[in-house]
Chain A
């Protein structure tokens, strides 16, 4: 299995809703990432987990709450979002080895619309 899967593919939520995005990989990778991508812009890093511990938080608002229950799963919990948070949310994973080959592989993304 050489892919990163994300669910749901699309999500529409109101500003008072609570929802979660899910990401899964079975490549044995030990680093997982959340990115946010607006239309015609490059991905922006939000969070990085290495060995199930949060290692990087790019000053993301607390209405986004990441969770890494195990080495294969990554969640992003959403609460009280704003319309400007509408974007494509991408998950990625990388091996996190001591060698040079730690390329990041991306999932297909969840397209989020906040009304």
Chain B
């Protein structure tokens, strides 16, 4: 079993839809949870960075962490064609230079 599981997609939604992206994990020591967006042939761009459980909102993006279920989510409201990209979740056990464990990424397509 991989430490972090993420559905590779592709996930296709119409413009304006609410998108839900998810990752599950097995290591209860993870404390920091990140979401990155990566456009084709570009570097990952940090979208959300959360510590421990709870919700965090930034514009159209909301990150949720449920440590009891070992489950994290990223919600995108009012999705746009420009949101079409691969979304990577990442987790680490600590701050500093603790290693990030990445999910495989979910490819999202938002159709105009």
Contacts and interface: CB of A to CB of B under 8 A. Distances in A.
Interface of A: 4, 6, 31, 33, 40-43, 45, 48, 50, 55-56, 88, 90, 94, 96-109, 111
A43 B97 contact: no
Contacts of B49: 101, 103
B97 A50 contact: yes
Q: Size range of the interface on B?
A: 20 to 34
Nearest to B95: A102
- Which label, helix, strand, loop or mixed, suits the secondary structure of the B interface? loop
Given A42-B105, A100-B51, A100-B95, A105 B46 contact: yes
A99 B103 CA distance: 25
Given A40-B8, A42-B103, 16 more contacts: A4-B43, A41-B104, A42-B88, A50-B96, A88-B43, A90-B44, A100-B51, A100-B95, A102-B95, A102-B96, A102-B97, A104-B46, A104-B100, A107-B43, A109-B41, A109-B43
A99 B31 CA distance: 13
* B41, B88, B104: most-surrounded residue (chain A CB, <10 A): B41
Contact of B42 (A33, A97, A109): A109
Interface of B: 8, 32, 34, 36, 41-46, 49, 51, 88, 95-97, 99-100, 102-105
A31 B49 CA distance: 17
B41 A96 contact: no
A70 B47 CA distance: 28
B44 A43 contact: yes
Nearest to B39: A108
B106 to A, nearest CB: 11
B46 A103 contact: yes
A103 B34 contact: yes
A100 B36 CA distance: 18
Nearest to B49: A103
A9 B51 CA distance: 33
Contacts of A48: 97, 99
